[in-house]
Amino acid sequence: MRNDLGELATFAIVAEERSFTRAAVRLGVSQSALSHSMRGLEKRLGLQLLARTTRSVSPTAAGAALLQELSPALERIERAVAETSKQRERPAGRIRLIIPRTATQLVLLPKLAHFARTYPEIVLEVTSSNDPVDLVAGEFDAGVQIGEFIQRDMIAVPVTKQMRLAVVGTPEYFRRHKPPRTPQDLKDHACIGFRFSNGLYRWEFEKGRKVLTVSPQGPATFDDPDLVIQTVLHGVGIGTSLEESLRGRIADGSLIEVLRDWCPTFPGYFLYYPSRRHQPAALAALIDTLRIAR
């Protein structure tokens, strides 16, 4: 049936023009190729659809009945294709975006009101996930993730400046426990862990030429970085999160940052997507809104 669709559309044009010559010109094909195509369609259906004379062509009764049902369907298909094509020209439609909750707060929410006002015909369908995701398999249009987790075959544009991981605890916790001065001191602390679906995140430290990785040992692990920090704020232990997301709490003294000289900066978050070819205008608008200059 998929192979017949083109020939059915061609039949509708021949019936409308009532001439193989005019239909061939309209379709940009030879008259003989057009005649051959119609004979093939009639043979497969086992019915004559077009009555032919040397001077004119007209639908048979079977052809007219088919055309009555076919024309509205072809018009709907034409409208659907036209609406889809407009997505390249007009920022409209849905964008399926997958993004960690922390990145939603840092990257998307501060710009969402402006984006919604500027592009009222775009709807963002946002899914929260901390895990690296295969966009194509998950049927997402784009994602936001830390640069090191993005697959090499993706197009990636920066949406934050360089970032730093912060190790924090409450003043009350550090009154009971001596603040760590080196990563090795963490063995004496209750470390609240964060895990991806495929395993526990290991805390990475670097100072000069020294590089250390620590597996946090403590009373709890979470798959939500906000819950890690909430647990830290309850005085259960120390934890890690992006320094940018903790600036307010560090500034007001509710959290104390430690081991900062062991926590290097890294490139931060990127918006990534599969290909630049035939990019919808809606996705281009989102990229332009979230992109930052490096």
Q: Compute the Cα dihedral for 270, 273, 279, 280 and give only its sign.
A: negative
Report CA Rg, the chain: 31
Q: Which residues of 207-233 are buried (b: 16+ CB within 10 A; e: fewer)?
A: eeeeeeebebebeebbeebeebbebbb
Q: What is the architecture of the domain spanning 2-86?
A: Orthogonal Bundle (1.10)
pLDDT at 40: 87
What are phi and psi for residue 255, nearest 5 degrees?
-130, 145
192 in helix, strand or coil? coil
**Residues 85, 91, 94, 98: what is their CA dihedral angle, to the nearest 10 degrees?**
120
Q: Please, where in the chain does CATH 1.10.10.10 lie?
A: 2-86
200 touches 216 (CB < 8 A): yes
Task: Provide CATH code, domain 163-266.
Answer: 3.40.190.290
Distance CA(64)–CA(50), nearest Å, equals: 9
- Return the structure tokens found at 112: 């969402």
Distance CA(98)–CA(219), nearest Å, equals: 30
pLDDT in tens, the chain (294 residues): 555 778 888 889 998 888 888 899 988 889 888 888 888 889 888 889 988 877 778 889 988 898 888 888 888 877 777 666 655 567 888 999 999 999 999 999 999 999 999 999 999 999 999 988 889 889 999 999 999 889 888 999 999 999 999 999 999 999 999 999 999 999 999 999 999 988 999 999 999 999 999 999 999 999 999 999 999 999 999 999 999 999 999 999 999 999 999 999 999 999 999 976 667 889 999 999 999 865
Q: Please, where in the chain does CATH 3.40.190.290 lie?
A: 163-266
Distance CA(287)–CA(156), nearest Å, equals: 10
Q: Please, where in the chain does CATH 3.40.190.10 lie?
A: 93-161+268-290
pLDDT at 237: 97
225 touches 101 (CB < 8 A): yes
Distance CA(15)–CA(28), nearest Å, equals: 16
197 touches 131 (CB < 8 A): yes
147 has which bridge partners?
A: none
pLDDT at 282: 92
pLDDT at 178: 96
What are phi and psi for residue 277, nearest 5 degrees?
-70, 135
pLDDT at 255: 98
Superfamily of domain 93-161+268-290: Periplasmic binding protein-like II (3.40.190.10)
At position 172, the amino acid (one-letter code) is: E
